[in-house]
Structure 1
Amino acid sequence: MMDKWIFSRNGGRHMFFRSYADEQLSQYSYMIACQKTGEAIVIDPARDLTPYIETARKEGFRLMAAAETHIHADFVSGARQMASDYGAALYLSNEGDEEWKYEFTDGLSVNLLKDGDVFMVGKVEFKVMHTPGHTPESISFILTDRGSGSAVPMGIFTGDFVFVGDVGRPDLLEKAVQLQGTAETGAGQMYDSIQVFKQLPDHLIVWPGHGAGSACGKSFGAVPISTVGYEKANNWALKEMSKEGFHEELLKDQPEPPAYFSVMKKVNKGGPNVLANETIPYVEHLTDLRAYMNRSDVTVIDTRDSREFAAGHLKGTINLPYTRIFTNWAGWLLDYEHTLAVIAAEEQTESIRRSLQSIGLDRIAAFVSPSVLKEADALEKYRNIDAERLKEQYSKEDVYVIDVRQQREWDEGHIPTAHHHMLGDLEEEAGQLPKDKKLIVHCQTGARSAIGTSLLQAKGFKNVENLLTGFDGWEKAGGPVEQGDKEEKK
């Protein structure tokens, strides 16, 4: 949760505002309520409704509505859940072509929106502005607090259109959903949308859908809000430039989209499953876990700290430490058709469950106590090494150094003789790796490489080590660095 604003006029309360942040997904959502009527709306709600419910109960609001800026690709929307649990009216885009229309509207109270439409929640006004570019159906909402007597708008909810310091990438449909040609089309639409945005009043607050760490752009600022005027002065995408120059700059150096983005688009378009309060068993004995491990459709993930995992883990398990990067890499690396058994401390299970469900990983068969490892006859291990140890080995013929960072990181500098296999592609490219050499895995700081090392061990590579200090440690130790383009893969 980020902040809470209550705006007043002449001692009377009129509009309530609160923003929420999912730090693992760098996703923002917002609750706006009319203090006069008690009606509340959530903009781009996350799937876990708990924070909104708690706020509504505390403040005495009714969750009357949910609005979406577009069909999301990076998390499961909570709009359908709100409609099911609270009878909330949905405000959804009706812009774009037939390829990107919502398909779950039957039987629900749905308002399909076009550019220029206006709707009210109590005395708070929302005006729709069609802002295609990131996606064809993308819309923004301009807010005016009519209850306070204001005739001028206060701010704009931009979703994935304008961020602090950046704009939404237009290439996701092409890269993640394989809709060819949509990147160029989206770049042109984004340029045109920006020209309209630049005509808005400078004082308007900009409330974006994401912050630093999201894969929906490439150069986010770390500040969660901005203004139209500030972005016009400082956002690279709002500078004066030709349409051709804008195209080139916008499409250049965008990060690799996580593999699960294509799944999220389909889920949010067709309608997410409505969650029920089902109890997930907590397994405390190895024999019970073995029953799951013997099934071909079950993946076992271990959420312990990577150093604990390296010191001893069950064969075939994948280490996804429950840190800020957990959700992103779970979506990238786990099979949505598989059921999960999750090794985790009992006090973390509900939080982990919400994180997995936030990206549609709903098939959780059981949580498992880390104490089951004490019952195992033998545990696998791997060695963590530092930069000095790698410097002794890296140029030897029997060592294969794997860099799992993203393309831009590799291009900016990498270890000579290293081989680039980005973590999200590592399982698919495992067949290219030598079986007769020691594999040494590294990323920037050691977090992603620990995941990669566990993945390789689970795939049957046993002679594998992790550079605990990462590329940062390599540079600090004076290791040689070279720059270059993408490595050609066989």
Structure 2
Amino acid sequence: MFFRSFFDENLAHMSYLVGCQKTGEAIVIDPARSIESYLKTAKRERLKIVAVAETHIHADFLSGSREIAKHCGATVYVSDEGDENWKYHQVEGVNYTLLTDNCIFKVGHIEFQVMHTAGHTPESISFVLTDIGGGSSHPMGIFTGDFVFVGEIGRPDLLEKAAGVRGSAATGARQMFESVQKFKQLPDFLQVWPAHGAGSACGKSLGAVPMSTVGYEKLNNWALLEENEEKFVETLLSGQSTPPNYFSMMKKLNKIGPPVVNEADITGLETVDEMERFEANTILLDTRRAAEFAKAHCKGAINIPFNQTFTNWAGELIGYEQDIILIAMENKLKAIMESLASIGLDRVVAFIEPSVVLATEKDPESYGEVNVQQLQDILNDDDYYLIDVRNQSEWDAGKIEGATHKPLSQLVNLLDDLPKGKTYLVQCQSGVRSAIATSLMQANGYKDVKNVKGGYIAWKKEKFPVNV
């Protein structure tokens, strides 16, 4: 049997290619939208991708199942569990098989048994793999999707918070308790292959280790150790962060079926040097490092540096109805566009090199920084106004006295509440998100704004007072 995992750092997403080397057939589990890496690996290993399977309707990335089905003629295996509100429609127009609890399907001499593991979502399923072709009658591992992670389990509140299904969080938590009891009956030696690692918003505190075993999770995962259902539900629902804004769109697109990439016009971009040619609904996205952007940038641009958090913040801050002009180096363009496409932001209409922007901009903007020592000196000065853009749980854990809380994901909608005629100081945990927020404020007309270098971490390190 051939087994290969793929990790997308931007989304903390794990997907898998499993092949039967005797028949040359292969399957991809929970594929990303960009399928090039699966195709290359399969070709190199002389495998033909004949199937693709999903553990559930994902909320944090755009599925590549339709892409693989169209490109490879593969059969799509998806859940038929859950209520009528969460049935797959993306399978229309491709070969598909609907799965329920205890169903078995095979790819070559590899067997997959379906286990309904509701909780994260009603339709969630897991796949127990047995390598029959390798001579085993015992299962090797389980693909758990967003059900069991390393050291954690999936959050049950996304349907309520991201899709607006009232009451589904509590129901999902109780379903998760039942699913965990089923999981605990599996053999200890079974390997656990989840769909996410550390950095994903699909659970509270996911481990950075890519895989585990059932036995290890029984000994170390709080959810498998908790026997009291009421306490389990309370613990699981407490402290869950607000899901990113784009999750609701991902749920919708993965349910109805995303366009395949070659149907979405994301290639053949135009190179531009006249910003005024484009409509007001166009967003100018500068992907340079924050330090470079701070020194000089085009008026109206927002800055989301192309790093590990790029995809998340692009999904938070860019509307799906907006066209996008990228300010980026051409050698990074393909990777940036793939990251945007991974969450369905396909409306990239043009790009411009940073050097061209700065050469043609008559009066480029910039912004400055203050360190926490300077912040302490001016904190009580009425000419300054401190804005904390961290999330709610960070704010609740401790804050700088005098700060006003305006989370980055909601900042643009809250700008009208700001007092006029101030110098705005923007602060987050470390200075990274506040740099993005500073660019957003300038793009929306608030020009006298500075980033607080080092953020709340630097403030606490100096032992300056905080409010809890």
TM-score by length of 1: 0.93
Instruction: Tell me whether 1:408 sits opposite 2:393 in the alignment.
Output: yes
Match of 1:19 in 2: 5
Q: CA deviation at 1:374?
A: 1.2
1:286 aligns with 2:273: yes
Q: How does 1:318-337 map to 2 (within 5 A)?
A: 318-337=302-321
CA distance in 2, matches of 1:321, 1:424: 16
Match of 2:81 among 76, 90, 95: 95
Match of 1:357 among 324, 337, 341: 341
Give the alignment's TM-score, normalised by structure 2.
0.98
- Give yes or no for contact 2:289–2:305 (8 Å, CA) kept in 1: yes
CA contact (8 A) 1:443 1:470 kept: yes
Q: Distance in 1 between matches of 2:110 and 2:395?
A: 48
CA distance in 2, matches of 1:431, 1:72: 34
Alignment of 1:90-489 (within 5 A): 90-276=76-262, 279-283=267-271, 286-287=273-274, 289-292=275-278, 295-372=279-356, 373-483=358-468
1:478: Cα distance to partner?
Answer: 2.6
1:53-73 deviations in whole A, cap 9, x for unaligned? 110111111011100000000
AA aligned opposite 1:183: A
Q: What's the counterpart of residue 4 of structure 1?
A: none
Structure 1 unmatched runs, 5+:
1-14, 484-490
Q: Secondary structure at the match of 1:427?
A: helix
When the two chains are superposed, the root-mean-square deviation of aligned CA atoms in Å is 1.1
Distance in 1 (alpha carbons) for counterparts of 2:446 and 2:187 = 59
SS in 2 for 1:189: helix
The corresponding residue for 1:46 is: 32
Separation (CA, whole Å) in 2 of partners of 1:290 and 1:40: 50
SS at match of 2:277: helix
Q: What is the match of residue 80 of structure 1?
A: 66
| Shift in Å, 1:376 | 1.2
Please give the alpha-carbon distance, in whole angstroms, between the structure 2 residues aligned to 1:414 and 1:165. 29
Q: What letter corresponds to residue 161 of structure 1 in structure 2?
A: F
The Cα shift of 1:481 comes to: 1.4
> After the TM superposition, which segments of 4 or more aligned residues of structure 1 sit over 6 Å from their partners?
none
User: Shift of residue 145 of structure 1?
Assistant: 0.4
Residue by residue over 1:71-106, the C-alpha shift from the partner in whole angstroms, topping out at 9 and shown as x without a partner, is 000000000000111111100000001000011323
- Give, in whole Å, the separation in 2 of the partners of 1:173 and 1:395: 43
Judging changes above 3 Å, is the alpha-carbon distance between structure 1 residues 113 and 347 closer, same or farther for their aligned structure 2 residues?
same
d(CA) in 1 for partners of 2:328 and 2:14? 27
SS of 1:95's equivalent in the other structure is coil
8 Å contact from structure 2 (residues 266, 348) kept in 1: no
User: Contact 2:102/2:114 (CA < 8 Å) preserved in 1?
Assistant: yes
Distance (Å, rounded) in 2 between the aligned partners of 1:172 and 1:333:
19
- CA shift for structure 1 position 433: 1.6
1:286 partner SS: coil
Contact 1:304–1:322 (CA<8 Å) still a contact in 2? yes
C-alpha displacement at 1:278, in angstroms?
A: 5.2
- How far did 1:282 drift? 4.7
Deviates more, 1:400-409 or 1:176-185: 400-409
For the residues of structure 2 that align with 1:49 and 1:74, how far apart are their CA atoms? 17
Total equivalences in the alignment: 465
Q: Unpaired runs of 5+ in structure 2?
A: none
